[in-house]
Amino acid sequence: MPRIAAGDIQINYESYGHGEPLLLIMGFGLPGIAWLPVLPFLSGFRCIYFDNRGTGNSDKPERPYTIAEMADDASNLLAALEISKTKVYGISMGGMIAQELVLRHPEQVGRVVLGCTMAGGSAAVLASEEVYQKMNEAFATMPANPEHALDIMMPLLFPPEFIVKHPELKAMMLAGFKMAPPTPPESIERTRAAIVNFDAYERLPQVKCPVMIVHGDNDILVPPENASLINGRIPHAETFMIPEAGHSYGAADPVGIHQRIVSWLRKAE
């Protein structure tokens, strides 16, 4: 993946496919290459995915992070690539970054998909403390023992019955984690603090571009009630709730789910 100056940091990014631009924003603690399994389903777009600050091969500034700052990173990346306007798809923390991107730089965003995310603030519905502790344990374990880390992480991302039905899932995820350097503990802490302090709830009515909210109705990491909260603040938004799907909802029906997302993204503004 090439690196490019984006504001005051170097961002590691890659492009896949051909067509109008689609900026893909990854979630907590994961590099952009985590989009790899999804890319074949996003036909008709030039998909641009990147490592958020602190992850992969992007710079890892030794100072506190904010979601707004990471949204500015995305904006600066678009400017560096001479992309004046794009469609955006963010998942989990990437959905928080996407909210800030469209709020801070509305002229750069034509349409936005907000996947398995929340608006933050006091209205947000949070996961249980046990879920957060397990996610922290998984990331702490990942550098030394990725296989054990996945044993901890997978039940947070997929319903238990889905894991039983798909024994191949762990090997695929393990191979994916080996394709990029693990996220350092310092970056995990800085990014976690950014999520805790994120709050777009009161500002969401300012969003004027088309919005699609996508969520699994069995998500224990970001409870599905958050989709309704976002929709309540953006009345023109369309909600796509996926039955019996967890946080990694795309695995439930990769072809069908992404066909619906792509069809929506292809609409004219």
> How far, CA to CA in Å, does 103 sit from each of 96, 208, 219, 267?
11, 9, 26, 21
pTM beyond 0.85: the answer is yes
Nearest partner of 135 among 116, 154, 118, 162, judged by Cα: 154
- In angstroms, what is the C-alpha Rg of the chain? 17
How long is the chain?
Answer: 269
Q: Find all residues with CB under 8 Å of 64, minimum gap 6, and list them.
A: 190, 193, 194
Reported as a single tens digit per residue, the pLDDT across 147-186 is 999 999 999 999 999 999 999 999 999 998 888 889 999 9
pLDDT reported for residue 81: 98
pLDDT reported for residue 217: 98
Sequential pLDDT tens for the chain (269 residues) = 699 999 999 999 999 999 999 999 999 999 999 999 999 999 999 999 999 999 999 999 999 999 999 999 999 999 999 999 999 999 999 999 999 999 999 999 999 999 999 999 999 999 999 999 999 999 999 999 999 999 999 999 999 999 999 999 999 999 988 888 899 999 999 999 999 999 999 999 999 999 999 999 999 999 999 999 999 999 999 999 999 999 999 999 999 999 999 999 999 86
Contact 152, 131 (CB under 8 A): no
Q: How far apart are alpha carbons 7 and 80 in whole angstroms?
A: 9
Contact 101, 109 (CB under 8 A): yes
Domain count, the chain: 1
The CATH number of the domain holding residue 30 is 3.40.50.1820
pLDDT reported for residue 178: 85
- Give the domain extent around 12: 3-265
Three-state SS across 175-213? HHHCCCCCCCHHHHHHHHHHHHHCECHHHHHHCCCCEEE
Task: Give the bridge partners for 5, in sequence order.
Answer: 10
Three-state SS across 6-69? ECCEEEEEEEECCCEEEEEECCCCCCHHHHCCCHHHCCCEEEEEECCCCCCCCCCCCCCCCHHH
Tokens of 1: 């993946």
Q: How far apart are alpha carbons 126 and 124 in whole angstroms?
A: 6
pLDDT reported for residue 163: 96
